[in-house]
């Protein structure tokens, strides 16, 4: 759940309160705009999760001059505090994208559209996300390799997950091999849990699911989330990779508030530099070796197309000179749809003992992956996010507008929950069949199965009997014609309530030459040109079975090694 708290609490006050307690903890005052060189060996566009990792790793080579360009500014001070992430949504650190109005979905949302947050600050989306560290399923990466991308199987990429990670959680002997220690990105277990968290874990156990390490060899089960935090403070690529690299290595320059508008090519279609706007001025910088685009699943294909690399017909329609016709740029776009709004009241523990979910702040309590009903049972088709609180916990003041529900839906469906204790379960589709602008009907059917599993968990004794959990079974407005609890009713529910989980990937697909929609090869080089790579989540041929921040760290780490190998440097 998100809401734009900053609409109601002045941002200056929030920053002042945070700065008093965390003075000096978020110091990113190393902008190199005043000492920009004419030429660098490598230019990295985008200082997000992958971009920060690849820039820091390239700067390890002492003789290479590396420039990192970031469209946003430094991470805002409040980003350090995990519990203030709600303030960051639709703030200056967010690109503030919204989806186009949908014909067949988002029926419960204003304008049939929803907020689509992506980070616009040093650290990118790692600066504004919910900090859950989930690598995905080993079968995700094995499929990448099976699709014609050698070197991207789970056994190949595991070392890069471990290389990036400094795991500070509870180590289990059976999963210790899979965890990394001493890497740049700190990963901790969620530092505290509410009674609701323990009740959900118990409910999972009652249904036959173990409490698992979510980043161990297998994924099926219930888990306390791993978080990209360090001593309870948010960890971003800016803190984990960029700032330490700048402090140690003078060959890395970081320029902020630099919005790259074009990649420059010579007559041989080699990327030789970039043009960017900063404070109203247009500046140009050249790359002697390569340009690396790490602007994310929205920004990377956009920049390629603005530079003449993309679908020829589309570029000519916008009067952009074509450098190379690449029909796949912007295609293969994928995300994880989630259902927001499946709500239970749970009043017994709090009303009698003051220990229910209401006794702790709103937040994600548990992650779970259920066994798949179709195909490989250990390759989950659904992830479940268990969240303390209901959409009415704030009396309709903030949450409704932030999520994007229509006021009509709130008043008819959630208003009766005002003042009541409860929790919400969000089924998330981990392996959607929908691509780009095409919605696949099977995705609705899978989410319906997810709703049924969520109801089963909510009805387990640990929740129903011990917490007094009761599902909010009031018919959803717009679905009254369907029989409540039937598959058509839940399909209607999905079309009204499902929305993005903010995990965009796939728009610059990694693929072999035989795939007409491929954009980069398995070394992340862009087809049809030279001196240009894409290194971020947009290269995923298929989305991973979980939150996407951890895989983007891995892509940045592996991308840096691929570049080093091509230029004769042995990876460290």
Residue 571 falls inside a structural domain: no
343/318 same-domain check:
no
d(CA 340, CA 251): 46
* Cβ neighbours, 10 Å, residue 176: 12
384/318 same-domain check:
no
Residue 183 falls inside a structural domain: no
Residues marked as catalytic: 503
Say if residues 424 and 389 touch (Cβ distance below 8 Å): yes
425/457 same-domain check:
yes
Cα separation values, 557 from 49, 238, 527, Å: 10, 15, 21
Residue 264 CB burial class (10 angstroms; 0-12, 13-18, ≥19): middle
Q: What is the CA radius of gyration of the chain?
A: 23
Residue 88 CB burial class (10 angstroms; 0-12, 13-18, ≥19): buried
Q: What is the mean pLDDT of the segment spanning 73-100? A: 89
Q: What is the pLDDT of residues 543-554, one digit of tens each?
A: 999 999 999 999
Per-residue pLDDT at 401 exceeds 70: yes
Name the domain count of the chain. Answer: 2
Which pLDDT score, from 0 to 100, does residue 159 have?
A: 97
Say if residues 107 and 24 touch (Cβ distance below 8 Å): no
Question: 484, 500, 516 — which closes off a domain?
Answer: 500
366/423 same-domain check:
yes
430/510 same-domain check:
no
d(CA 572, CA 556): 14
Which pLDDT score, from 0 to 100, does residue 78 have?
A: 87
Say which CATH number the domain at 545 has: 3.50.50.60
What ranges in 228-330 are assigned the alpha helix state H?
237, 243-248, 296-306, 312-317
Q: What is the pLDDT of residues 467-526, one digit of tens each?
A: 999 999 999 999 999 999 999 999 999 999 999 999 999 999 999 999 999 999 999 999
Say which CATH number the domain at 396 has: 3.30.410.40
- In the numeric block, which tokens belong to residue 553? 């760290």
d(CA 80, CA 38): 34
Cα separation values, 74 from 113, 119, 295, Å: 29, 11, 16
Residue 151 falls inside a structural domain: no
CB neighbour list of residue 159: distance below 8 Å, 6 or more residues apart: none
217/345 same-domain check:
yes
Which pLDDT score, from 0 to 100, does residue 386 have?
A: 95
Give the pLDDT band (50/70/90) at residue 452.
Answer: very high
Say if residues 310 and 330 touch (Cβ distance below 8 Å): yes
Which pLDDT score, from 0 to 100, does residue 14 have?
A: 54
Which pLDDT score, from 0 to 100, does residue 21 have?
A: 57
Q: Which residue has the tokens 């919605």?
A: 439
Please give the residue range of the domain that contains residue 345: 191-224+336-500
Which pLDDT score, from 0 to 100, does residue 436 have?
A: 79
Per-residue pLDDT at 443 exceeds 50: yes
161/360: higher pLDDT: 161
Question: 500, 534, 555 — which closes off a domain?
Answer: 500
Cα separation values, 418 from 365, 395, 422, Å: 21, 5, 10
Which pLDDT score, from 0 to 100, does residue 364 have?
A: 83
Q: What is the pLDDT of residues 334-390, one digit of tens each?
A: 999 999 899 999 855 444 544 444 333 457 899 999 999 889 999 999 999 999 888
Residue 184 falls inside a structural domain: no
- In the numeric block, which tokens belong to residue 355? 């220990």
Residue 162 falls inside a structural domain: no
Give the pLDDT band (50/70/90) at residue 18.
Answer: low
Q: HSE of 325 in the Cβ direction (CA atoms, 13 Å)?
A: 5
Residue 229 falls inside a structural domain: no
Could you tell me which of 502, 504, 501 has the C-alpha nearest to residue 538? 504
Q: Is 548 left (phi over 0), alpha (psi -120 to 50) or beta?
A: alpha
308/373 same-domain check:
no
d(CA 39, CA 67): 9
d(CA 111, CA 404): 9
SS percent in the chain: helix, strand, coil, step 5: 35, 20, 45
Question: 500, 528, 547 — which closes off a domain?
Answer: 500
Is 502 annotated to bind a ligand? Reply is: yes
469/389 same-domain check:
yes
400/423 same-domain check:
yes
Which pLDDT score, from 0 to 100, does residue 523 have?
A: 98
115/251 same-domain check:
yes
Residue 393 falls inside a structural domain: yes
Residue 350 falls inside a structural domain: yes
Residue 33 three-state SS: helix
Per-residue pLDDT at 213 exceeds 60: yes
Is 260 annotated to bind a ligand? Reply is: yes
Cα separation values, 88 from 29, 58, 82, 128, Å: 20, 30, 10, 6
CA triple 348-354-360, angle to 5 deg: 105
- In the numeric block, which tokens belong to residue 72? 């946003």
Out of 20-34, 275-289, 340-354, 430-444, least confident range: 340-354
Is 52 annotated to bind a ligand? Reply is: no
431/509 same-domain check:
no
- In the numeric block, which tokens belong to residue 504? 């965009």
Q: What percent of the chain has pLDDT over 90?
A: 79
380/489 same-domain check:
yes
Average model confidence (pLDDT) across the chain: 91
Which pLDDT score, from 0 to 100, does residue 479 have?
A: 97
Per-residue pLDDT at 83 exceeds 50: yes
d(CA 357, CA 192): 13
d(CA 389, CA 371): 26
Instruction: For 206-275, give the DSSP string.
Output: HTT--B--TTSS---EEEPPEESEETTEE--HIIIIIHHHHHH-TTEEEE-S-EEEEEEE-TTSBEEEEE
Which pLDDT score, from 0 to 100, does residue 419 have?
A: 83
Is 503 annotated to bind a ligand? Reply is: yes
Residue 483 CB burial class (10 angstroms; 0-12, 13-18, ≥19): exposed
Per-residue pLDDT at 460 exceeds 90: yes
């Amino acid at each position: 759940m998100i809401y734009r708290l900053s609409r109601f609490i002045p941002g200056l006050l929030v920053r002042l309160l945070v700065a008093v307690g965390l003075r000096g903890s978020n110091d990113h005052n190393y902008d190199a705009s005043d000492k920009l060189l004419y030429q660098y060996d490598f230019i990295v566009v985008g200082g997000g999760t992958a971009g920060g990792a690849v820039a820091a790793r390239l700067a390890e080579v002492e003789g290479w001059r590396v420039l990192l360009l970031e469209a946003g500014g430094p991470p805002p001070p409040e980003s350090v505090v995990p519990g203030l992430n709600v303030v960051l949504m639709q703030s200056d650190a967010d690109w503030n994208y919204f989806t186009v109005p949908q014909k067949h979905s988002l029926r419960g949302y204003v304008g049939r559209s929803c907020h689509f947050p992506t980070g616009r600050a040093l650290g990118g989306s790692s600066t504004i996300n919910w900090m859950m560290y989930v690598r995905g399923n080993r079968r995700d990466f094995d499929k990448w390799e099976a699709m014609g991308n050698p070197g991207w199987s789970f056994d190949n990429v595991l070392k890069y997950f471990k290389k990036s990670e400094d795991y500070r959680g509870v180590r289990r002997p059976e999963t210790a091999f899979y965890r990394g220690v001493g890497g740049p990105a700190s990963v901790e277990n969620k530092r505290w849990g509410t009674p609701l968290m323990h009740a959900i874990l118990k409910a999972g156990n009652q249904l036959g699911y173990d409490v698992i390490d979510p980043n161990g060899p297998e994924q099926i089960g219930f888990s306390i989330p791993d978080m990209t935090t360090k001593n309870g403070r948010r960890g971003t690529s800016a803190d984990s990779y960029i700032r330490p690299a700048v402090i140690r290595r003078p060959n890395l320059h970081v320029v902020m508030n630099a919005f790259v508008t074009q990649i420059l090519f010579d007559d041989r279609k080699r990327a030789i530099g970039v043009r960017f706007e900063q404070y109203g001025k247009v500046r140009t910088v050249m790359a002697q070796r390569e340009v690396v685009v790490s602007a994310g699943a929205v920004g990377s294909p956009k920049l390629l197309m603005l530079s003449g690399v993309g679908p020829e017909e589309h570029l000519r329609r916008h009067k952009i000179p074509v450098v190379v016709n690449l029909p796949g740029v912007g295609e293969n776009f994928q995300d994880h749809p989630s259902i927001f709004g499946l709500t239970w009241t749970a009043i017994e523990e709090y009303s009698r003992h003051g220990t229910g979910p209401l006794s702790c702040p709103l937040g994600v309590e548990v992650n779970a992956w259920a066994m798949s009903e179709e195909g490989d049972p250990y390759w989950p088709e659904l992830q479940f996010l268990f969240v303390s609180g209901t959409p009415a916990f704030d009396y309709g003041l903030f949450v409704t507008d932030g999520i994007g529900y229509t006021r009509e839906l709130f008043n008819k469906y959630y208003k009766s929950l005002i003042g009541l204790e409860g929790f919400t379960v969000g089924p998330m589709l981990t392996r959607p069949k929908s691509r780009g602008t095409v919605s696949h009907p099977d995705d609705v059917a899978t989410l319906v199965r997810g709703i049924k599993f969520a109801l089963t968990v909510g009805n387990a004794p640990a929740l129903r009997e011990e917490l007094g959990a009761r599902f909010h079974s009031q018919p959803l407005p717009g679905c009254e014609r369907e029989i409540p609890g039937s598959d058509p009713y839940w399909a209607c529910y999905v079309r009204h309530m499902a929305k993005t989980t903010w995990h965009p990937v796939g728009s610059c697909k990694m693929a072999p030459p035989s795939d007409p929609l491929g954009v980069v090869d398995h070394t992340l080089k862009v087809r049809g040109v030279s001196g240009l790579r894409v290194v971020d989540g947009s290269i995923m041929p298929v989305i991973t079975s979980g939150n996407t921040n951890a895989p983007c760290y891995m892509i940045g780490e592996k991308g840096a090694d691929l570049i080093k190998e091509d230029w004769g440097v042995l990876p460290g």
